[in-house]
Each structure stands twice: as C-alpha cells, then as structure tokens.
Amino acid sequence: MKKVIAVVGCGRIAQSAHFPAFAQMDEVRVKYACDLIVSKAEAMKEKYPDKVENVITDYMVALADPEVEAVFVLTPNFAHYTVTMDALKAGKHVFCEKPITVNYKLSLEMAKEAEKQGKMLNIGVCNRYHKSVEKLEEMCREGKFGNLYHVYCSFRSFRSIPGLGGPFTDKKQSGGGVLIDWGVHFFDLILYILGNAKVKNLTCDAYSEMAKDMKAYKYRSMWAEDTADTEHGVNDVDDFITGYVRTDKASISFNGAWAQNIDKEEMFIDFLGDKGGARLNYGGFFSFTDGSTLQTETPEYDIPNMYLLEDKAFIESISTGVKNKGNVENVLETAKLLDALYASAASRKEIVL
C-alpha cells in the first residue's frame, strides 16, 4: 500500500532533491505540496502532475487529513521545530531536513516528542546514504585503519556566503553560518564513520569577517541569491570556523569557510589510522593508503542518488517500524557538538561535555 505524504516547503532542496526522488518512488503519494509562496508549490504540481495531488499554503490542512501518514519538512532551519512539533502532535511521522533545528535544546525536544507520540522522526543526513561514506564506515568497523586516531576536515570555499542578508545569514532563522550549514554534514558523517563517536571536549573560534559591509561584498555567484537582502537584511553568523574536538574515538581538527580570500575550494576529510589512512573528497570518491604495502587505491563504484536512498529508507522505516541510521536519535550527538562549538567560540573557552 502506498504511503500518503505531505511536503512542507517547496524551495531549492525540495525542487532539486526530494521531488525528483518522490517521482521515482512508486511507494508514495504526494497528497499535498505546501509552501507559503503558492507559486513554488504550484511549480511542483506542474512539474510532477502524476505525483502531486494538491497545492496548499497552510500545512495545518495536511495535518488535519487522516490519510496523511508522513510529512516532509523542507523549510528554512528555524521553521523545522514548529512544523515538526505540529506534525508529530497531529500523529504524523516526520522527515525533517538538516540541521534538526537551530539549537540542541529544541532538537532534543523534537526527539522527545517523536518518542512520546511513537512516531518516526528522521533527519536529512543524506551523507550517511552516500556510497563512499558507507564504505568508509564499513572499513573502520573492520579495522582497516587500525587505530584511527585523528580526523582532519576542511570545508572551505572562496566567496560563497549563501543568500547574504536572508535566512541563511540571520542567526535567529538559521542557528548559525558555515558550521551549521556545511559543518553539520561533515561532522555528522565523521561521527557516523567513527562508529557513533561521543564528544568529550572541544574548543572553537568563529569569525564573521567577509561581509561586514554587506553592500560592498563581492562574489562571483551566490547560492540562494533569491533570498539575499543586502539592503535591509542581517548577517550575524560565522563565515569562518576552526577548532579541535576530542571524542571517545578519534580527535578531530577542522577549518570551514563559506568565504575566504583564497580562490580555492577544499572539501575533504582525512582519516588517519596507524595501519591505513583515507582521504574522502566530499560528495565523491575516497583514496585509501595501506601502511603495510604503501599502496594507494581509489575504489570505483556507482554512487547512487543519496537523497532517493534516504527518502526510501524513511518510508521503509515507517512501514516496518524499525528506526534507521537517519533517525533523530542517531543525529542528536551532531546537534550537541554544533551547539558546544558555538558556545566555545562565544566564550573563547574550552567546553567539556
């Protein structure tokens, strides 16, 4: 039997990842496409006429419909909490995009509500469904790295602040800048590959240097340009972040930049073990160096669509009642880590968890 879903938020990630996935999923009916801006929901119905049944602007309409079993929350970060809590209280399962929401306290409340209602709450940790990440997690479990003692990651780009002055750069709406927007993916997959590592203590510095004068900010292209508001908007979030994290497994050092005056993009994670090491090119393949043979190999394999896999896995989990790796319970440690990193940066002190 097909699962009946509603989609709240028909913006970029909905258009580029989830609606194309739903179009390939015979197991779902999209009874409602909802967006405050009706033209965005209508565009999805026009593009997928055989899949999208109704267009609405008020998600409460979908929550009141007993046929709807699950809701996909694809709104900006600040709205994740309200829409998810309303949906859970209405007895719906929820898939909510990353990050869980703007801080750990509210994230925990969302997880507790899901538990209380006996409903699934999955988070859009799409990288956990990326083939390279799955393979590295398996290699780590099998001991291919030996003692995996340190992870270094870099998520740095040239002048790439998204939607300057819009929801991405307003801390009240986003929860933060490059750390919560890009870092959430990197840290989530690192903690996952390490075998659900738990954070012990950390230190962090955050900077907002590159667009202090928003009107003078220069860039080649701007992601989410349609939401930018350099005239009246706010930019109070980190565009550069650096720090050090100790976990019960490996330690982690990192640098992240939405924007920097270095015309390079560096998106990779190094896993350092005494038997072997790997560099994962974010979103792509990894190379593994075996310390005993001194050979480096880059395994090749198909990289299926991770968004399709995560959406399918969520629908399967509500059918079977079995929680999977995208369940909020497995993602809370990442939210706790991000919160503590921001607290460390604000206080300029080490934080012990």
Ligand X SMILES: NC(=O)c1ccc[n+]([C@@H]2O[C@H](COP(=O)([O-])OP(=O)(O)OC[C@H]3O[C@@H](n4cnc5c(N)ncnc54)[C@H](O)[C@@H]3O)[C@@H](O)[C@H]2O)c1
Please give the single-letter amino acid code of residue 159. R
- Which residues ranging from 267 to 286 are in contact with ligand X (CB under 6 A)? none
204 neighbors 272 (Cβ within 8 angstroms): no
The rounded radius of gyration (Å) of the Cα atoms in the chain is 20
Q: Determine how β-strand 266-273 pairs with β-strand 276-281.
A: antiparallel
* Residue 11 binds to ligand X (criterion: CB under 6 A): yes
Q: Kindly report the three-state secondary structure assignment for every residue of 41-99.
A: HHHHHHHCCCCEEEEECCHHHHHCCCCCCEEEECCCHHHHHHHHHHHHHCCCEEEECCC
Q: Which of 7, 77, 202, 326 binds ligand X (CB under 6 A)?
A: 77
Q: Which of 35, 170, 239, 339 binds ligand X (CB under 6 A)?
A: 35
* Residue 29 binds to ligand X (criterion: CB under 6 A): no
- Residue 47 falls in which region: left (phi positive, over 0), alpha (psi -120 to 50) or beta: alpha
Of 68-76, 84-92, 211-219, 228-236, the window that binds ligand X (rule: CB under 6 A) is: 68-76
Report the residue number, 14 or 345, with the smaller CB distance to ligand X: 14
The DSSP code sequence of 157-192 is -SS--TTTTSGGG-HHHHS-SHIIIIIHHHHHHHHH
Report the residue number, 34 or 214, with the smaller CB distance to ligand X: 34
302 neighbors 284 (Cβ within 8 angstroms): no
Report the residue number, 23 or 353, with the smaller CB distance to ligand X: 23
Report the residue number, 24 or 298, with the smaller CB distance to ligand X: 24
Closest contact distance (angstroms) between CB of 245 and ligand X is 21
* Residue 97 binds to ligand X (criterion: CB under 6 A): yes
CA distance 20 to 334: 28
Report the residue number, 11 or 177, with the smaller CB distance to ligand X: 11
Closest contact distance (angstroms) between CB of 12 and ligand X is 4
* Residue 12 binds to ligand X (criterion: CB under 6 A): yes
* Residue 8 binds to ligand X (criterion: CB under 6 A): yes
* Residue 177 binds to ligand X (criterion: CB under 6 A): no
Tokens of 215: 């009107």
* Residue 169 binds to ligand X (criterion: CB under 6 A): no
Which positions touch ligand X (CB under 6 A)? 8-14, 34-37, 40, 59, 74-77, 79, 83, 97-98, 124, 126, 224, 227
